[in-house]
Amino acid sequence: MNKLRQELVALHAELVRYNLVAWTAGNVSARIPGEDLFLIKPSGVSYDDLSAESMVLCDLDGKLVEGELSPSSDTAAHAYVYRAMPEVGGVVHTHSTYATAWAARDEPIPCVLTAMADEFGGEIPVGPFALIGNDDIGKGIVATLSGHRSPAVLMRNHGVFSIGKDARAAVKAAVMCEDVARTVHIARAGGPLVPIAPGDIDALYDRYQNVYGQR
C-alpha cells in the first residue's frame, strides 16, 4: 500500500504540473485493490506538503479508517463512485479552468477533435448541480457516467470529476479533459466548428481503447 500512497503523491503533482488546481482545490483517490477501502488527499493541505504518510485511508462510506488528518471534503463523492461503479479504481476532482467554464454554462463539450474521440468517445457530458454535504454529487457523477463512454463529467457550476481503472487513468482523463475543453473553447471563439462524423468518432474511440500504447 505504500507504493500506492507514493503514486498518489506523484499524481497530485501532475495536477499541479498541468495547472489543473489552484491552492488546495483538487484531489485524487485510489481504490485499494481487492478491499473496500481507498486512499485520498487530506483536506486543505498544500500540494507541496503532501507525503505518502499524509494520505488518508477511508472505507467505501467515506469514513476515516486510518490517518491523522481529515480526508478531503470531496470524500463522500469519491466514496459514492467506488460503491456504485466497481470497475473504477481511481477518481479525480478538479476545478480546471476551461472545463469549469463549460460547466458554468451547463454546456457539454462537442467532439470535434480526434484526440477527444480517442479518449472520450464523443462529447464530455454535464452533470447536475449538487450541493456538497450528502450523496448528491456522487449520485450526479454516477448517473451521468454510467453507460457513457466519457471518463469525465462536468458538474454544473462546479468542476470536473474523472474516473479510470486506476488513479493514473483518472488523472490522464482529467488532463485530457482540460486540454480539449481549452482547444474547443478557443476554436469556437474563432468561428464555426467542423464536426467529425459519428462513424469516424466510433472508429477512433475503438482503435484507441484497444491499440494505443505498449502491450
Which parts of this chain interact with a second copy (CB under 8 A)?
A: 18, 22-25, 42-45, 69-70, 73, 95, 97-98, 100-102, 104-107, 112-115, 129, 131-133, 156-159, 172, 175-176, 179, 182-194, 196, 200, 203-204, 207, 211-215
Cα(10)–Cα(7) distance, integer angstroms: 5
* Residues forming a β-bridge with 29: 40, 91
Nearer to a second copy, 35 or 106 (CB): 106
CB of 201 to a second copy, least distance (A): 10
Nearer to a second copy, 39 or 171 (CB): 171
CB of 4 to a second copy, least distance (A): 18
Q: Are 167 and 93 in contact (CB under 8 A)?
A: no
Cα(196)–Cα(4) distance, integer angstroms: 39
Nearer to a second copy, 46 or 146 (CB): 46
Nearer to a second copy, 2 or 214 (CB): 214
CB of 35 to a second copy, least distance (A): 26
CB of 78 to a second copy, least distance (A): 16
Nearer to a second copy, 87 or 131 (CB): 131
Nearer to a second copy, 32 or 128 (CB): 128
CB of 66 to a second copy, least distance (A): 16
CB of 34 to a second copy, least distance (A): 26
